[in-house]
Chains A and B, each alone.
Chain A
């Protein structure tokens, strides 16, 4: 995968480039907007990381120009500006995500993966939060202790709902919505029953209960 990094700060640029290279992304690093546009003309990239406070041409202008040229390359804004206006202008202007400095590198990598996944359609067949991974085709779950545990349809639906956004808390009614189709009678305690079953199969730490709110799987590393 080829990444274009547009960042004028030398220390930040250097660090991001090094980490991206370590993560097996081929990275081209440019330090201003005009060079970035020139690079996009000559080379096709899988993803652009764009800083907003650039010398010469502002990041948002660069974004506008990219989109005006009908270039639909996935793009993540990384910036120190947190004003809501900037955020909205960035996302409305066609950015796929918006990451506020300072950020841990793991977060940038996760956001990159998410954007690439979204752009690549639903081809992905595995959901993973670092503790448990779920195969969407075979409906089997794998944890550090267990391997390829077969799940029932409802267990699968529940775990899938939780794994789509690891770290998000889902309430009982939200989980019921995911498990039962329209018109299906909701059985009382069904959610507790399914969670009990999943914990027995995969280990009790996999699904966490938040008192008074609902359930979640941990966000992972």
Chain B
């Protein structure tokens, strides 16, 4: 019940539907009750009129009465009949039998309408004094009258019974239709890419929602500007770091060329490694900033094997150094329309990761397969793989697996993810060997 209350408070649509339905219900009940009682009264009125008509007819035509025997009366509808008799005959009414006429009405009745109980049954009775001075009684059983009156009153309720559910359906449908622009709008915003911050089209929206959407558009614009500023800052900062890095690495190279003592040479090695790590970090930061930027890049038909080759040419020294057998599994090349530089950076980061996290004398395989609408590229290694729980985390910038000894920047997979999102591809991490839960297999699906 609390949940319903909360939903009622939160949802304008629900509140509107329920309020309107309740209003319709109350109006329908009131109108129904009024129609019912007035129809009931109306019916009784008409039946009384019928009694009066019979009495008047009897009086005007100067009719004389002949009571039918009980047998004759059996043919008619005994309950529905209208009885006419002289009031004076009531005294010699045969018994307490309501079937036989005359009936035992009290002879003291005054002229006019009344309701009496005769022989255990209720009667509506009209007493009239005729022009000839005789007093006659026109009577009908009250049961029948009530039954007929009720039937006609119920019939008067029929329009309400039909109208109420129809109105409910109409109101529900109308409310849903009126709120549809909001639902469509939220679906549109939900489907957007992470990077898509373009304004929402406000032209087809109702005027009531438009100010809200305009405000959101202004917010989106501010967010976009803030993100752009941040991206530009990362790019600029990394650029600015390049010059001092160059100076540092060149000076270190000169130092290496001079004759050094054995200790100095030993200490020089970590220094050179540190410089190399810094250089790589700057490159990765720049690659990430560029992958996240919104600028569109020219696309062309690119041979995946050609990109494999560039990546291998770049990374072969690293693989050879670790004694890793690296190669391409697929025999047939596949073409894909993409920006070649992005494709290269994507694959280079994946292969670089694979080589880094695969122990010496391991194996790294590259593979491309053409599927119906996509191109599947797989990079598989014989390393430890990534635990299922960790598979989502590794895409976060600067995330580094526990227990890793590799001196990575922690940006490689973030760059991969940024490019994947940018080009509308899909990426999935898994195990190269599902049974043993070992080895990393990265699958990337690129739309053809």
Contacts and interface: CB of A to CB of B under 8 A. Distances in A.
Interface of A: 9, 11-12, 15-16, 18-19, 22, 53, 80-82, 84, 101-105, 167-169, 171, 208, 210-214, 216, 218-219
Nearest to A168: B313
B246 A213 contact: no
A15 B253 contact: yes
Nearest to A9: B243
Contact of B313 (A22, A212, A216): A216
B286 interface: yes
A105 B253 contact: yes
B327 A80 contact: no
B254 A15 contact: yes
B253 A169 contact: no
B242 interface: yes
Interface of B: 239-240, 242-251, 253-254, 257, 279, 282, 286, 305, 308-309, 312-313, 316-317, 320, 325-331, 341, 366
Q: DSSP majority for the A interface?
A: loop
6 contacts: A12-B247, A12-B250, A102-B248, A102-B250, A169-B309, A212-B327
Contacts of A168: 313
A59 to B, nearest CB: 13
A79 B437 CA distance: 46
B312 A213 contact: yes
Contacts, number: 87
B242 A169 contact: no
Given A9-B243, A80-B243, A102-B242, A19 B328 contact: no
A46 to B, nearest CB: 21
Nearest to B308: A213
Given A22-B257, A212-B327, A102 B313 contact: no
A104 B247 CA distance: 11
A171 B306 CA distance: 10
A12 B251 CA distance: 8
Contacts of B254: 15, 18-19
A93 B101 CA distance: 130
A115 to B, nearest CB: 19
B316 A210 contact: yes
Nearest to B305: A213
Contact of A101 (B243, B308, B309): B243
A102 B249 contact: yes
Given A168-B313, A216-B316, A101 B245 contact: yes
A219 B253 CA distance: 19
Nearest to B251: A15
B249 A212 contact: no
Contacts of A12: 243, 246-247, 250
A9 B247 contact: yes
A172 B116 CA distance: 120
Contact of A103 (B244, B246, B257, B316): B246
A52 to B, nearest CB: 11
Interface centre among A12, A84, A103, A216 (most CB of B within 10 A): A12
A219 B325 CA distance: 18
Nearest first, the 5 closest Cβ-Cβ pairs linking A and B are A211-B327, A212-B328, A15-B250, A11-B247, A80-B242
B313 A19 contact: no
A208 B323 CA distance: 13
A211 B325 contact: yes
Contacts of A167: 313, 316
B246 A212 contact: no
A105 B250 contact: yes
A42 B282 CA distance: 39
B102 to A, nearest CB: 120
Interface centre among A82, A84, A101, A105 (most CB of B within 10 A): A101
Contact of A219 (B244, B282, B286, B317): B317
Contacts of A171: 309
A102 B326 contact: no
A80 B286 CA distance: 11
Nearest to A22: B257
A25 B248 CA distance: 22
Interface centre among B249, B250, B312, B320 (most CB of A within 10 A): B250
Contacts of B243: 9, 12, 53, 80, 101
Contacts of A15: 247, 250-251, 253-254
A81 B239 contact: yes
Nearest to B253: A105
Given A101-B242, A105-B250, A212-B329, 7 more contacts: A9-B243, A9-B246, A11-B251, A80-B240, A101-B246, A102-B246, A213-B308
Contacts of A9: 243, 246-247
Nearest to A102: B246
Contacts of A102: 242, 245-246, 248-250, 279, 282
Given A80-B239, A212-B329, A169 B250 contact: no
Contacts of A210: 312, 316, 326-328
Nearest to B279: A102
Contacts of A82: 239, 286
Contacts of B279: 102
Contacts of B305: 213
A22 B329 CA distance: 46
Interface centre among A102, A168, A210, A214 (most CB of B within 10 A): A102
A9 B243 CA distance: 8
